[in-house]
Amino acid sequence: MKDFRPRLKGNKLKAFQNITKKETRVLVIGDLHEPFSLDEYLNHCAEVYAKYNCNRVVFIGDVIDSHYSSYHESDPDGMGAGEELEFAIDRLSRWYKMFPEADVLIGNHDRIISRKAFTAGVPKAWIKSFNEVLQVPKWNFVDRLVIDNVQYIHGEAGTARTKAKADMMNTVQGHLHTQCYTEFFVGANFKVFATQVGCGIDFDKYAFAYAKRGKKPAIGCAVVMGGKTVVNELMEL
């Protein structure tokens, strides 16, 4: 089959060449906190993936919430451990079907169970992998990821601005549900950007009762193209 060559001119041709050139185009998906994400957030991310012709997917962390075992107060009327985990696995199956190959940053909520096992003196040999427990065999769970000289982290040590300037490295992170932006810092001998992805949480769920008196979350995702161009895509609510 011959390559498709549309009859485009001027800016339309340039736009087509830009979106089809050989480079890494990363869709960055915000914190999900399953089973407490917005139903519509999956469609939003899928549409953004198609819009920018993405070829790689990164989940920025906290794909599960583990509210039942939180280090903060848990809702006594909420789901029990087994029920919440089963529901989270079911919800994640939607994401796995849409994005079967992805890198997943390990967030603080993802680590809750392993941390408590460590505190209880349980050896690592007894602990199953995220892939086994969450039934996502092809996902790659990591603490930090670098693609095209851009570091992807969950972000538990401050804002993306702070981390980008401290490391003098392009930085993309999640964790902070109310922030969604990209900012460049330019000096005599450097240029780095800092990106907060936003999130996909359902703010009305009981798991986020702790934040009811705070700011509303920024529901969005991001796309990083060639390690240089970043677009934040907020979802219409």
pLDDT tens, the chain, 237 aa long? 456 666 888 888 877 877 788 899 999 999 999 999 999 999 999 999 999 999 999 999 999 999 998 877 788 888 999 999 999 999 999 999 999 999 999 999 999 999 999 999 999 999 999 999 999 999 999 999 999 999 999 998 899 999 999 999 999 999 999 999 999 999 999 999 999 999 999 999 989 988 877 789 999 999 999 999 999 999 998
**Contact assessment for residue 161 and residue 172, using Cβ atoms and an 8 Å cutoff:** no
- Model pTM? 0.92
Nearest residue to 146 (alpha-carbon basis) of 24, 33, 18, 19: 24
In the chain, which residue ranges form alpha helices assigned H by DSSP? 10-20, 39-51, 81-98, 112-119, 130-134, 160-167
